[in-house]
Structure 1
Amino acid sequence: MDSEDHIDPELPNNDHTVEEVGGSSSQAPGPSRRKRGSGKRGNTVLPHVLQRKRDQAPTVELDHYDRPVGEVRPELMSYIGMLVRDCSIIPICTTDWRTITDAKNRIYDAVKEKFIVPNEMEKTDILAVAGKMHRCFRCHVKKKYFDKYAPDHEKAFSEALQHERNIDRGDLQRLFNHWETPESKAKCETMTEVRSHNTVPHHMGRKSYAAHLHEMTEERRQKNMPPPRREDLFKKAYTNSQGGFYDPRARELAAKMKAYVDEQAEQGTQVEPIGANDAVAVIFGKDHPSRARCLGFGVNPKRAFGTNGSKSATSSTSTSCDSELRKENQMLRGEVGDLQAKVARLESVVEQLAHRQGLGALFPTPASVQEIQQLGLEASDARETSQEREGASYAHQTSREERGNVKGKKKVPFR
Structure 2
Amino acid sequence: MSILDEYKDSTRLHLLAKDVHNLPEGLRIVVNFDKHHAAVGEAAGLLAGVCGQLATDCVAFPISFDKWSDIPASFFENQLNIFFLARFCFKVSDNLAKRFLLQSLGKKWREHRIKLWNDFYDPRLSKTEIINNAPEDIAPDQWALFVEYRLKPETQTKETGKEVNRVQMWDITHKKIDESYVNEKAKEIAEKIEVHSSQQPMELTVNSPLDALGVVFGKEHPGRVRGLGMGAVPIIAFKNNTTRISQMNLGSSNDAGTSSTCGPNVQEELDTVKAQLQALVSYIASKEGGKIPIQLAGMFPTQQISQVQIQLSSFFSFALSPSVFFLGS
Tell me the TM-score range normalised by the shorter chain: 0.3 to 0.5
Q: Which has the higher strand share?
A: 2
If the length of structure 1 is used for normalisation, what is the TM-score? 0.32
Structure whose CA Rg is larger:
1
If the length of structure 2 is used for normalisation, what is the TM-score? 0.40
